[in-house]
């Protein structure tokens, strides 16, 4: 893959992120990072990390906390700084976060953290994670807009772009964000002076194209991993469908991919995720299985590792017929003698659906999993499953309907899809239900759909489906 060289972040430890490692450990790593990259680059990285952590914060609020953390590091990493300088400063910043008129971002859940004291408060603040819907993608400005803002104030343009880009990519390693933003600023630097050069912008954008595509892919899979409750089950069904794998093969494949994402998506350093994805490509393209795969898949495996994953992600899934899901659901699913019984049931439920995206599929599978798991924990498993049989059948039928809806959405134009939905959705509240289905189709049929939004839209459709008799 061209242009995927990334800025390698030292083991930079922001105290409010890894306060549990110990006071001296935090200070030593921050000071080493500051020494390695210098104060300006250090502040850029801090700005990325806090823009990702507080995507709801204003530019001024995020800049304020980034300034405070940078000043703290600069002050306490001097040779003559007192041993407790860093810990005292970090405590003062956590206290400032809890102040009534705090200039820092207002994070959901911060009030609960502020009832704690000392190290417990810092640990609580560090664990906060923003979970609201994804922000819309950053609109690409025109060449003229870039140059007008850049030439007016180069430094301000750079830090604002870092903030806007980072808050829209909050679940990927900060090094990728920093790399992308610095590529953008470099483009402005090269193409805006002495005058706007459109040919220069075209050349720069072409050079960044492949790395930008990879960044979108990475952002999507990391968002799924962080936000989807039963992501691993959705992944198993996805790989089972895409590659024609058995339950055991698909589970091993999805488990390997899920492990790498879980381990690396939220680490600032990009090396971890690159190593994991490269390793996963070797599993995906294992020569012992390659001959049984489609010609298109084999072509993907001839590409460099990261390009392979993008290529495979773009492959069209085909409907397949796996063995029917057991109806009624047997209590054997819950028996210890049936290892992975529920996992297998979810795989068989989801693997036949080739048109819906992972966020939609995973949301429905999570609902099924919760129903079956609750019965497995009940005093009378068989009675519980019998009582829930109609609910499970209805949810499976809904999954098929979602798959059909997305299949039609890809084949027909939007007015035709809306007309068909209006005919199918009759009765009280028909207009609202039609709109719910239409919103889901528009936003969530694409494979790289936003995880949190599509969970909500799928749950809306499920709610309307539950309300119908």
Distance between CA 151 and CA 274 in Å, rounded?
35
- pLDDT band at residue 151 using 50, 70 and 90 as cut-offs: very high
Find the mean pLDDT for residues 217-237: 93
Residue 11 reports pLDDT greater than 60: no
Report the pLDDT value the prediction gives residue 113, as an integer from 0 to 100.
87
**Six token digits for residue 193:** 């002076």
Residue 73: both structure tokens together: 């590091």
pLDDT recorded at residue 145:
94
Q: What is the pLDDT of residue 457?
A: 94
Residue 76: CA count within 13 A, CB half-sphere = 24
Rounded CA-CA distance 76/26 in Å is: 12
Token representation of residue 147:
């140059």
Q: Is the pLDDT of residue 26 over 70?
A: no
- The percent of residues in the chain predicted with pLDDT above 90, rounded, is 45
pLDDT at 337: 57
Q: What share of the chain in percent tops pLDDT 70?
A: 90
Question: What pLDDT is recorded for position 328?
Answer: 57
The single-letter DSSP state of residue 327 is S
Query: Do residues 261 and 301 touch, judged by C-beta distance below 8 A?
Result: no
Question: How far is residue 167 from each of residues 170, 180, 219, measured CA to CA in Å?
Answer: 5, 13, 12
Q: Residues 27, 76: contact at Cβ < 8 Å?
A: yes
Measured CA to CA, the distance from residue 372 to residue 447 in angstroms comes to 27
Smallest Cα–Cα separation from 179: which of 151, 215, 218, 145? 215
Considering the chain, what is the average pLDDT of its residues?
A: 85
Region of residue 458 (left: phi > 0; alpha: psi -120 to 50; beta: else):
alpha
**pLDDT at 16 (0 to 100):** 37
Confidence of residue 132 (pLDDT cuts 50, 70, 90): low
Q: Mean pLDDT, to the nearest integer, of 362-387?
A: 91
User: What is the rounded average pLDDT of the residues 332-353?
Assistant: 82
pLDDT per residue over 377-436, tens digit each? 888 888 998 888 888 889 989 999 999 999 999 998 988 988 888 888 776 777 888 899
pLDDT for 135 beyond 80: no
Catalogue all structural domains in the chain, each as residue range(s) with its CATH number: 21-127 (1.10.246.10), 143-217 (1.10.246.10), 225-467 (1.10.246.10)
């Amino acid at each position: 893959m061209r242009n995927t060289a990334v800025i390698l972040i030292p083991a930079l430890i922001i105290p409010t992120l890894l306060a549990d490692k110990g006071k001296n450990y935090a200070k030593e790593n921050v000071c080493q990072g500051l020494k390695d990259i210098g104060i300006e680059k250090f502040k850029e990285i801090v700005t990325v990390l806090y823009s990702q952590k507080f995507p709801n914060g204003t530019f001024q609020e995020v800049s304020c906390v980034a300034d405070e953390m940078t000043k703290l590091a600069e002050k306490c990493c001097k040779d003559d700084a007192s041993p407790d300088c860093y810990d005292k400063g970090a405590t003062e910043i956590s206290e400032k976060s809890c102040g009534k008129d705090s200039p820092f971002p207002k994070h959901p859940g911060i009030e609960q953290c502020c009832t704690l004291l000392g190290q417990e408060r810092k640990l609580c603040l560090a664990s906060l994670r923003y979970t609201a819907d994804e922000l819309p993608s950053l609109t690409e400005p025109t060449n003229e807009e870039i140059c007008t803002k850049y030439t007016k104030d180069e430094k301000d343009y750079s830090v604002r772009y870092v903030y806007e880009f980072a808050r829209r990519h909050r679940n990927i390693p900060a090094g990728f964000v920093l790399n992308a933003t610095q590529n953008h600023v470099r483009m402005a630097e090269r193409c805006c002076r002495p005058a706007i050069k459109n040919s220069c912008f075209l050349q720069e954008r072409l050079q960044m194209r492949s790395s930008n595509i990879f960044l979108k892919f990475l952002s999507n899979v990391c968002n799924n991993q962080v936000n989807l409750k039963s992501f691993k089950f959705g992944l198993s069904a996805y790989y089972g469908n895409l590659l024609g794998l058995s339950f055991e093969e698909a589970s091993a494949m999805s488990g390997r991919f899920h492990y790498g994402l879980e381990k690396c998506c939220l680490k600032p350093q990009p090396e971890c995720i690159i190593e994991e994805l490269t390793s996963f490509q070797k599993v995906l393209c294992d020569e012992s299985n390659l001959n049984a795969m489609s010609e298109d898949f084999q072509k993907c495996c001839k590409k460099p590792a990261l390009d392979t994953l993008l290529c495979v992600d773009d492959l069209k899934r085909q409907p397949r017929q796996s063995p029917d899901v057991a109806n009624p659901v047997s209590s054997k699913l819950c028996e210890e003698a049936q290892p992975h019984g529920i996992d297998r049931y979810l795989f068989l439920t989801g693997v036949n659906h080739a048109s819906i995206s992972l966020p939609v599929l995973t949301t429905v599978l999570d609902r099924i999993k919760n129903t079956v798991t609750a019965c497995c924990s009940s005093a009378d498993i068989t009675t519980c499953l019998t009582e829930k049989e109609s609910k499970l059948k209805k949810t499976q039928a809904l999954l098929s309907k979602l798959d059909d809806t997305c299949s039609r959405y890809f084949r027909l134009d939007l007015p035709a899809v809306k007309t068909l939905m209006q005919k199918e959705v009759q009765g009280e509240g028909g207009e609202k239900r039609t709109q719910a289905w239409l919103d889901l189709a528009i936003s969530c049929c694409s494979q790289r759909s936003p995880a949190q939004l599509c969970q909500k839209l799928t749950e809306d459709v499920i709610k309307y489906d539950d309300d119908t008799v």
